[in-house]
Amino acid sequence: MEKYVKKILSSRVYDVADETPLQRARLLSRRLGSEVMLKREDMQPVFSFKIRGAYNKMALLSDEEKAIGVITASAGNHAQGVALAARELGIRALIVMGRNTPEIKINAVRDLGARVVLFGDNYDEAAAHARELVAEAGYVYVHPFDDPDVIAGQGTVGVEIMSQHPGRPDAIFVPVGGGGLAAGVGAYVKYLAPTTKIIGVEADGSACMTAALAANRRVRLPFDTLDLFADGTSVAQVGKETFRIARRCLDAMVTVSTDEICAAIKDLFDDTRAIAEPSGALAVAGMKKYCAQQQLTGAKLVAIVSGANVNFDRLRHISERAEVGEQREVVLGVTIPEKKGSFRKFCQTIGRHPVSEFNYRYASDEAAHVYVGMKVGDPSDRHALVESLREAGYPVADMTENEVAKLHVRHMVGGHTFGDKKELLYRFEFPERPGALLRFLSVLGTGWNITMFHYRNHGAAWGRVFAGFEVPEGRMEVERKRLAAYLKRIGYRYWEETGNEAYELFLR
């Protein structure tokens, strides 16, 4: 670690990077019962910490290497760092980015003067293509995380935290993708303050460091399972050098869901009035979850807000899921009598709980179904509300954790019933980009009669479809196997949802 400390302290990041503030989070501190400080790397010139490692690496290139030009693969933030460094150093730069990269990052790279090539659906596919171009044209490859000079540049974040913090923090929460930031910060902080915990945070769907530490070796996650919501940290395998350091420096790993990330973005906005990108809010989401799991209070905590490069249209998805992620919204399917006065009586029963959504579906002459979203104070309020409705005689389905209900059915209530026919239901996900829905429909083929189809582009990284397929009487199992084999062949992520309670209540 001493070697890295020397490299970190001699890094040339401040030719272009700023020393960002360590800001107290008043509302988070009060909620968690600890002193929470935010390291505001979203305030860098490219709105991300990545400028540090990129510039340090490129400033140390030889004159011959600078003359050749550089290439990199990136989910967006490292690309902006390389593009800015190239402009300042007078170096030609070619950036390979996945086609799922937010447009705001692509445009920013082009505005900085770099040439952009879009390839693949994630960082790893883009990186493989960049390596091919290195072999063809001889560019100097600037790795986004697995390079000692890049790691050293990112480590300057740790130097600033330790010099700015009034005393030594008990724990620093670091977002993890390929591991460069965690390795750099961990190497410096553990050398200076071995008792300060370094806790890495990953998205559930791209937890390659968590998998590597559990297996005691680097693990490659399948590309088709990678979560793309937190695109800045969507990496299939951590770096060789970053893993070597992380094994010595990381005290724990926390994984968080998309809803928990969305809730953390809202928390950051409430405290700072700034909007973090999903990966930028990972550390806060992990800090909240870690404090709840460990029942931690009275601690001095730091969370690194690593970036703010988020497409504006993605805010629709973030705001929609933030309340669920914070467990402040409950989504229920409630059956009420189909007669005069039922609505009024039901509203009196739910009392003063703020209603966020209210959809009605006629079921029969005797009953109707209500899809209702309500604000609650905490998870215990959710369970109390459900029980109070059941005690009042209402059949209740708690759909707060039901993805079909939250993503699709809430926008479909009132559709025509399918009657007595049989159908198989599936939920699909595919990387969202121009033309993705048309490709989905094209490869789905014409082998089945589609009885129901819902797609909504709401700013998420994944296109999401909920569909029904007609099944002839007596052929349910045969058609299920035939359809499953076809879906496996075309390669889409999918889940069978036949019998989902939200469908049974509102769409059948």
119 and 37 in a common domain:
no
Tell whether 183 and 39 lie within a shared domain: yes
Residue at which a domain ends, from 273, 298, 323? 323
State the DSSP code for 48. Answer: B
Among residues 343, 371, 401, the one where a domain terminates is 401
Q: Are 368 and 335 within 8 A, CB to CB?
A: yes
Same-domain check for residues 441 and 349: no
CB-based contacts of 455, cutoff 8 Å, min separation 6: 437, 463, 464, 465, 466
Active site residue 481: no
Q: Rounded to an integer, what distance in angstroms lies between the CA atom of residue 89 and that of residue 58?
A: 8
Residue 203, token pair as written in the block: 């998205």
Residues 200 and 304 reside in one and the same domain? yes
Rounded to whole angstroms, the Cα distance separating 221 from 241 reads: 18
The predicted structure's pLDDT at residue 461: 63
The arithmetic mean of pLDDT across residues 366-385, rounded, is 81
Backbone dihedral region for residue 372 (phi beyond 0: left; psi -120 to 50: alpha; all else: beta): beta
User: 401, 425, 441 — which closes off a domain?
Assistant: 401
**Residue 362 pLDDT:** 72
Please write the tens of the pLDDT for every residue from 221-249: 987 778 778 888 989 999 999 999 999 99
Question: For 187-247, what is the HEC assignment?
Answer: HHHHHHCCCCEEEEEEEHHHCHHHHHHHHCCCCCCCHHHCCCCCHHHCCCCCCHHHHHHHH
Give the pLDDT confidence of 457-477 residue by residue, as tens digits.
Answer: 655 567 788 888 888 878 888
Task: For the beta carbon of residue 317, count every other beta carbon within 10 angstroms.
Answer: 22
Three-class SS of 260-311: HHHHHHHHHHHHHCCCCCCHHHHHHHHHHHHHHHHCCCCCEEEEEECECCCC
Whether residues 62 and 87 share a domain: the answer is yes
H helix intervals, 112-207: 123-137, 148-164, 180-192
What pLDDT, in 10s, does the model give residues 43-95? 999 999 999 999 999 999 999 999 999 999 987 899 999 999 999 999 999 99
Tell me: do 193 and 235 sit in the same domain: yes
What phi and psi values does residue 466 have, to the nearest 5 degrees? -120, 120
Q: Which residue range forms the structural domain that includes residue 119? A: 50-141
Catalytic residue among 7, 39, 50, 288: 50
Concatenating the DSSP letter of every residue in 73-99 gives EESSHHHHHHHHHHHHHT--EEEEE-T
Could you tell me if 390 and 483 lie in one domain? no
What percentage of the chain has pLDDT greater than the value 70? 93
Model confidence band, residue 374 (pLDDT cutoffs 50, 70, 90) = confident
Average pLDDT over residues 488-498: 82
Residues 163 and 24 placed together within one structural domain of the fold: yes
Bridge partner list, 23:
38
Q: In the predicted model, is pLDDT for residue 417 greater than 60?
A: no
Average pLDDT, the chain: 88
Q: Does residue 178 sit in the same domain as residue 318?
A: yes
Given 34, 74, 234, 306, the catalytic residue: 306
257 with 209, same domain? yes
Task: Kindly indicate the confidence band of residue 327, based on its pLDDT and cuts at 50, 70 and 90.
Answer: low
The residue ranking higher by pLDDT, 444 or 144, is: 144
Q: Distance between CA atoms of 394 and 508, rounded to whole angstroms?
A: 20
Q: How many CB atoms lie within 10 A of CB 364?
A: 7
Domains contained in the chain, number: 4
| Average pLDDT score over residue span 109-136 | 89
Is 50 one of the catalytic residues?
yes
CATH number where 136 lies? 3.40.50.1100
More confident residue, 38 or 100: 38
Q: Are 283 and 230 within 8 A, CB to CB?
A: no
**DSSP codes, 416-450:** PP-TT-EEEEEEEEEE--TTHHHHHHHHH-SSS-E
Query: Quick one: 424 and 457 in the same domain?
Result: yes
Are 278 and 356 members of one domain? no
In whole angstroms, how far apart are CA 79 and each of 47, 95, 227, 236, 313?
A: 12, 6, 20, 18, 21
